[in-house]
Amino acid sequence: MLVKAEKGMAVREESGDGRGTIPLKQHFVLVHGISGGAWCWYKIRCLMENSGYKVSCIDLKSAGIDQSHADSVLSFDDYNHPLMDFLSALPENEQVILVGHSAGGLSVTQACHKFASKIRLAVYVAATMLKFGFLTDEDLKNGVPELSEFGDVYQLGFGLGQDKPPTSALLKKEFQRKIIYPLSPHEDSTLAAMLMRPGPILALTSARFIEEGEVEKVPRVYIRTRHDIVVKPEQQEAMIKRWPPLSVYELDSDHSPLFSTPFLLFGLLVKAAAFDVGCNFETRPSS
C-alpha cells in the first residue's frame, strides 16, 4: 500500500490495484492553555469533525470540567496527567497530531519527551515552546507572559499560605478581552469570561523536562500570532530561534486564533498535518 499526503487534505491511502483511494482519519489531539479548557476548541473541533477528522480535546487537571481546584495542583506532572493518561492509553500503532495553544505548549513538549512514538506531529499555536521547560532565566523571559504594562491584572490564589508564592492565577475580567481576545468576536470573549478558571501557575512554572533522547524524533510546527499581547511576537521568535521547528506559519490574529481566525487556523493545521509530516523531516524555509 502506498500512503501519500495531499496538501490541505486528510491523508489518503491508495490501493495498488487501481480501485481508488480510501480516506484515513487523522487524529488531532487539542490541548488548551492556562485558565482554558477543552471548550476553547469548539470552533476548531466543529470544522475538523465536519471535514472527517477525528478530534480529542483534553481538559488538564483543574481545567474545564475537571473538578480539581488549581490551588491543589502543585506540580506540572499532576497538571498534565490527563494528557499523559490519554497518550498512554492509545494503541501502540496509533499516532496523533498533538496541538497545544499558549501554555499548552508545555504539555505538548512533555508528551514529546515521553511518547514520541505516538506523536506524528507537534503543533504549537502561540505557544510556549521550550525544549526543557523552565530551566533558566532566559526560558522564563521567553515563555512567561509579561503584562506589567497593564498594572495589577491577576487575581491570585495562595493555596500554600499568604506568605508563600501564589499557586493559582486568573486574569481579572476587566482585562480579559483587552489582553487575550482583542480581535475575537464579542460572543467568544463573553463565553470565555464565563468559563475561564484559575490556572495552577506554580505547577506551570515548575515544568522541567529531562532529556530522554526521543523529543527530537517528533517533527514540530510553530504558528505565530502577529498581534499577540500575551505571548508577544518577540517572545515567540526567540523560542523559535532557540529550538527551531520544521516550519513556521503566521496568523494575523490575537492570542486566540481559536476564536479570532478559526477558519485560517483550521486550514494551517490541516496543511501542516498533510505537508510537514509528508516532507519526511526535511528542513524547509518558514512560510
Q: What is the pLDDT of residues 13-30, one digit of tens each?
A: 333 343 433 345 899 999
Q: Write the burial class of residue 5 (CB in 10 Å: 0-12 exposed, 13-18 middle, 19+ buried).
A: middle
Distance CA 123, CA 121 (A): 6
Assigned fold of 27-276: Rossmann fold (3.40.50)
Distance CA 165, CA 173 (A): 22
* 12-14 vs 2-4, strand pairing mode: antiparallel
Could you give the residue numbers annotated as active site?
102, 228, 255
Where is 269: in which H helix or E strand?
helix 262-271
Q: Name all contacts of 15-24 with Cβ < 8 Å and 24+ positions apart.
A: 23/52
Distance CA 4, CA 115 (A): 24
Place of cell 496541538: 99
Question: For the chain, how big is the Rg over CA atoms in Å?
Answer: 19
Over the stretch 66-123, which tens digit does the pLDDT of each residue have?
Answer: 999 999 999 999 999 999 999 999 998 899 999 999 999 999 999 999 999 999 999 9
pTM: 0.88
Domain residue ranges in the chain: 27-276
Who contacts 257 (Cβ-Cβ below 8 Å, separation ≥6)?
125, 126, 223, 225, 251, 264, 265
Over the stretch 111-156, which tens digit does the pLDDT of each residue have?
Answer: 999 999 999 999 999 999 999 999 999 999 999 999 999 999 999 9
Place of cell 498581534: 227
Distance CA 45, CA 266 (A): 9
The one-letter amino acid code at 225 reads T
Distance CA 90, CA 152 (A): 43
